Amino acid sequence: MNFTLPTLPYAANALEPAISQQTIEFHYGKHHQTYVNNLNTLVKGTPFENASLEEIIRQADGPIFNNAAQTWNHTFYFMQFSPQGKNAPDGQLAEAIRTQWQSLDTFKEEFNKAGAALFGSGWVWLVKNPDGTPAIVKTTNADNPMRNGQKPLLTFDVWEHAYYLDYQNRRADYLNALWNILDWKVIEERF
Ligand code: MN
């Protein structure tokens, strides 16, 4: 299988000021592209050559896992944003969040806290547990919650390359700004 970089459903400057055009050009155009390129090179001649991205994430280790998971995680991250997204969830997802965290604001605070406290590089996620309940989880480096049987719903990238051009060391400000461009319609569909 030849993996490709997905086309973004918005212009490179459309998410400003939360994410600048320059960050999109580096983060999507260089980092994300490099994970895709590395993965295509690494799987050649291996049992993963014709596997799906999800199969590789569940089964591989080492560099093949790292580049497959980073390819998947970045696509999942970039596709949840929109300059004119839905600013709050409705329906079953809204109810699940209220049941777990009392309010959307409390959920966002807990999510931001988890992202700010993650030491080093990684991802903070909203996931759906096998029993249907939502949870906030952190993973380090390329790791993905589907390795633990959880269904990813939303993720914020807290690798420094995701925010350093725009926010330098202010990771909390970056996390806070992402809520302004998150499209909750995408998250509802994933739920
Ligand atoms: Mn990244």
pLDDT-based confidence at 63, cuts 50/70/90?
very high
Beta strand ranges found along the chain (DSSP E): 122-128, 134-140, 151-157
Has residue 2 been placed in a domain?
Answer: no
Q: What is the mean pLDDT of residues 142-146?
A: 97
Tokens of 90: 């409705």
Shared domain check, 97 and 183: yes
- Burial label, 191 (beta-carbon count in 10 A; 0-12, 13-18, 19+): buried
Q: Collect residues with CB below 5 Å from ion ligand 1.
A: 157, 159, 162
Give the list of residues 6+ apart from residue 30 with CB closer than 8 angstroms, or none. Answer: none
Is 30 found in the same domain as 98?
Answer: no
| 86 assigned to some structural domain | no
Q: How many angstroms is it from 100 CA to the middle of ligand 1?
A: 28
Q: Is residue 11 part of a domain?
A: no
Distance 10 CA to ligand 1 centre (A): 18
Mean pLDDT to the nearest integer, 125-131? 97
* Predicted structure pTM score: 0.97
